[in-house]
Amino acid sequence: MRGDDLKQIVSILSDEKTKLLMKAQEFRTHNLKTHETGADEVERNVFDQSMSLAIELQERDRLALIRIEKALEKIDTGTYGHCECCQCEIDFRRLMIQPFTRMCIDCMMDQESFNDKGPLL
């Protein structure tokens, strides 16, 4: 992978990391403000339901942050852009769309196909 391409990927990963961290901070701030205000039972139920969804979304974002950190670590060690399954180079277009992907498109499709069908006996 060319140096300019790698710089572009680092920029995308860093921007996404910043957005996710800011989103997490906003969630914590909003949660504290909402929790501090007194509310009746209906408001608490609505808050609990929306909080449940927000927690699920936060978990998804947390996993994305972990994958971003791993991608940045791979860039530092020079192993970025190679499929974790077949060790082939991942197409740059795929990396631009999903810069923290761990697999090439063929291995990803194989894995998804396997997961859809379940283990073959």
Please give the chain's pLDDT, 121 residues, in tens. 788 899 999 999 999 999 999 988 887 776 665 555 556 777 777 777 777 887 888 899 999 999 999 999 999 999 999 999 999 999 999 999 999 999 999 999 998 887 766 544 4
Per CATH, the architecture of 3-117 is what?
Answer: Up-down Bundle (1.20)
Using CA atoms, how far apart are residues 21 and 57, in angstroms rounded to an integer?
A: 13
Using alpha carbons only, what angle is made at residue 61 by residues 14 and 26, rounded to the nearest 5 degrees? 85
Per-residue pLDDT, 88: 95
Per-residue pLDDT, 120: 46
Per-residue pLDDT, 67: 95
Per-residue pLDDT, 21: 92
Using alpha carbons only, what angle is made at residue 77 by residues 76 and 78, rounded to the nearest 5 degrees? 95
Per-residue pLDDT, 46: 76
Q: Residue 98 is encoded by which pair of tokens?
A: 């999903």
Per-residue pLDDT, 36: 52
Q: Where are the domains of the chain?
A: 3-117
Per-residue pLDDT, 65: 95
Per-residue pLDDT, 94: 94
**Helix and strand element counts for the chain (H, E):** 4, 0
